[in-house]
Amino acid sequence: MRIFKKYSLLLGGIGVSFFGNWVYLIALNILVLDMTGSAAAVAGIYIVGPIARMLTNFWAGSIIDRVNKRKLMVIADILRGSHILLVPFLDSLWIIYGILFAANIAGAFFGPSSTFYITKFVTETDRRSFNSIMSMMNSGSFLIGPALAGVLISLFGTMWCVILNAITFFFCAFCIARLPDVEDEHLNQREPITVSMLAADWQVVKKFIQQDRYFIKIYLLFQTGLMIAFALDSQEVTFIKVDLALSDQMYGLIVSIAGVGALIGAAASAAFAKRFSLQLYLGVGMVLIAVGYLLFYSAVDFLTATAAFFFLGFFMAFSNAGYDTFYQKNVPTAIMGRFGSLASMFQSLLQIVFTFILGLMSEWLLRKCCMLSSESTL
């Protein structure tokens, strides 16, 4: 509780944004699936963002490391909220993709900036507990967001869910704007961004990668597993609605149950933050996340899918808290923006490849099942 009071504005702003993102994700998945009837189109939602980040991150890190991080986070959230606010009023899939593309460009600046700010603002002794509380808030959003999305969709349609997400971005910007600036020894280095500067910056990152091979090995293993999980997430709405033949409300409820598991898991990870090693949080968490996905996509009805999602959410909280602390401990703050941007490029590439492959496979299997069903009726 002491940590929550100490960092209330930061936790509150980002926590509310977490909540809006879960409401928005459920609504957007259903919106695109209802608009197109295509699993590949839903997978496209998960590809647009990584493409935007890949095209931005090779130069974004050099800007992030040389400007005021708090102000950059505020601007990024205002831009994201403004773009998302347009989505409910559009009826073209490609224009929606374009809006998501622009919003993700702004998001490419927010992620590394927030990691730097948290590392500087939160004391080292508080970090693992802080990250566990952040994970708990994300889990609470995981619980409340989809359930509220199901209610809002049934009562008002998807439009209000998307508008709610835009409002949460504005609220996050308001909270961060009230926070103090953190010490940043690089603010006086405001020279113009040039090609030679970008090349020099990437050499700095390359040197860090070569020097800390243990961190890079753990990072690559974790991110590869995480991106496979993200790719699988792109097909959960199709699996639940088509394969299990459940309603939009049931979809929201299943994801909410995963939020219950994540909330309990985050509380447990916060309670044991100083008793177990980071390696245990990361290693055991990731193995059991893989088991959770296997159980979910082997589900045959609502109950088995719900149990699998609860299991998945519980252990995801441990791995996320462990990874965030491990990252903050090992990446120097002086290059955190540049390394974070490079890391995001790597994540985006993996997400594009995995999501594209899974989207095509899901679309092919869906059509194959429809053809077999038509032939059997004849």
pLDDT in tens, the chain (378 residues): 566 666 778 888 887 887 777 777 778 888 887 787 776 787 788 778 778 877 776 677 677 777 788 888 899 999 999 988 888 788 788 888 898 898 888 888 887 788 788 888 887 777 777 777 776 676 666 666 666 777 777 777 777 878 888 888 999 899 999 888 876 545 545 556 666 776 777 788 788 888 888 888 888 888 777 777 776 766 677 778 777 877 777 777 777 777 777 778 777 777 776 677 767 777 777 888 888 888 888 888 888 888 888 888 788 777 777 787 788 788 877 777 677 777 777 777 776 777 677 667 766 766 766 666 565 555
What separation in angstroms does the CA of 97 have from each of 18, 39, 49, 103, 158? 21, 15, 9, 10, 16
Go through the domains of the chain in sequence order and give each one's CATH number: 9-181+194-377 (1.20.1250.20)
pTM of the model: 0.62
What separation in angstroms does the CA of 13 have from each of 102, 137, 167? 22, 11, 11
| SS3 at position 185 | coil
Amino acid identity at 375: E
Residue 290 has what DSSP assignment? Answer: H
Give the position of tokens 């990874």: 323
Res 48: pLDDT? 84
Res 185: pLDDT? 46
Res 162: pLDDT? 82
DSSP secondary structure, 111-178, as one string: HHHHHHHHHHHS-GGGHHHHHHHHHHHHHHHHHHHHHHHHHHHHHH-SHHHHHHHHHHHHHHHHHHHT
Res 200: pLDDT? 77
Q: Which residues of 244-276 are buried (b: 16+ CB within 10 A; e: fewer)?
A: bebebebbbbbbbbbbbbbbbbbbbbbeebeee
Instruction: Specify whether the CB–CB gap between 268 and 317 falls below 8 A.
Output: yes
Res 75: pLDDT? 92
Burial of 168 (0-12, 13-18, 19+ CB in 10 A): buried
Q: Tokens at residue 367, please?
A: 């059509």
Res 14: pLDDT? 81
Percentage of residues of the chain with pLDDT beyond 70: 80
**What CA–CA distance (Å, rounded) separates 7 from 114?**
14
Res 33: pLDDT? 79
